[in-house]
Amino acid sequence: MKIGLFIPCYVNAIFPQVGVASYQLLKKLGLDVDYPIDQTCCGQPMANAGFEDEAKKLAMRFESQFEKYDYIVGPSASCVSFVKENYPRVLKKEKHLCESIGKIYDICEFIHDVVKPNSLNASFPHKVSIHNSCHGVRELFLSTPSEMNIPYNNKLRNLLNLVNDIEIFEPKHIDECCGFGGMFAVEEQAVSTAMGRDKVKDHMSTGAEYITGADGSCMMHMKGVIDREKWPIKTIHVVEILNSEG
């Protein structure tokens, strides 16, 4: 199976190490992975602000860039779920049948559901608190939404359990939004910051040294709060933990 690596815009610009870890991890798992060059953005920031049509050209480009791959895998639950939820509709207006949605996965989802490794040669001797990001939970079902009455399952926890020496926690408000929301962070600055502060405090109350999740955008927002308040907790993407040296 040929895997095309999907690198979201903010990963490209702010967290390239997450892209590197994604690539290396997939290679470690023995997979044939390639990066279609010069990716830019899936269009989510424009669409969430109300300009979905601005993403048309990006969607078409995305489709052609990933056409020849069996799987599209990316380290961002929110970008992957954006493509799945919205590309078919956006592309329908261009009279194009969206092919990507049948084969696109968030990287944690992919490793958990498709690769299913029994072990990882990884070690992360730290306390981590899992950040269950909204799109990951409620669109990709990376973990059971706390609102629903279905049995608890957390794919991120399942994967982190394969890592040696790690201690895993979850915050009290297990999947309450951190307040990023794209343009929301700027347009409703006061509420967004209040949500971010509450969320970081909740993570800190577990005693964890790291907040870890599948969405770098959430990490970025929480890190903004942490840096401003100079709070003693760090952020790291799940993929970086899974890729750590055993």
Residues 124-183 that bind another protein (CB under 8 A): 134-135, 138-139, 145-150, 173, 175-177, 179-183
CB nearer another protein, residue 167 or residue 174:
174
The reply on whether position 225 binds another protein by CB under 8 A is yes
Q: How many residues can be counted in the chain?
A: 246
- Region of 23-31, 110-118, 153-161, 206-214 interacting with another protein (CB under 8 A): 23-31
Listing DSSP states for 127-181 in one string gives: EEEEE--HHHHHTT-SB--TTS-S---BHHHHHHTTSBT-EEE--SSTT---S-T
Q: With beta carbons less than 8 A apart as the criterion, state whether 146 and 175 touch.
A: yes
Residue ranges in 49-108 that form contacts with another protein under rule CB under 8 A: 49-55, 57-58, 61
Query: How big is the site for another protein, counted in residues (CB under 8 A)?
Result: 77
CB nearer another protein, residue 31 or residue 127:
31
Whole-angstrom Cα distance, residue 37 to residue 113?
Answer: 26
Binder of another protein out of 48, 103, 127, 234 (CB under 8 A)? 48
Vertex 208, ends 203 and 213: CA angle to 5°?
A: 60
The reply on whether position 12 binds another protein by CB under 8 A is yes
- At 236, list the tokens: 């790291």
The reply on whether position 186 binds another protein by CB under 8 A is yes
Binder of another protein out of 2, 27, 92, 93 (CB under 8 A)? 27
* Single-letter amino acid, residue 232: P
Whole-angstrom Cα distance, residue 117 to residue 16?
Answer: 25
Binder of another protein out of 3, 4, 26, 43 (CB under 8 A)? 43
Which residues have CB under 8 Å from 116's CB, separation 6+?
none
The reply on whether position 2 binds another protein by CB under 8 A is no
- At 198, list the tokens: 């509450």
CB nearer another protein, residue 161 or residue 187:
187
The reply on whether position 224 binds another protein by CB under 8 A is yes
Nearest distance in Å: CB 167, another protein: 26
Binder of another protein out of 185, 208, 211, 214 (CB under 8 A)? 185
Listing DSSP states for 63-103 in one string gives: HHHTTT-SEEEESBHHHHHHHHHHHHHHHHTTT----GGGT
Binder of another protein out of 88, 198, 201, 204 (CB under 8 A)? 198
CB nearer another protein, residue 127 or residue 130:
130
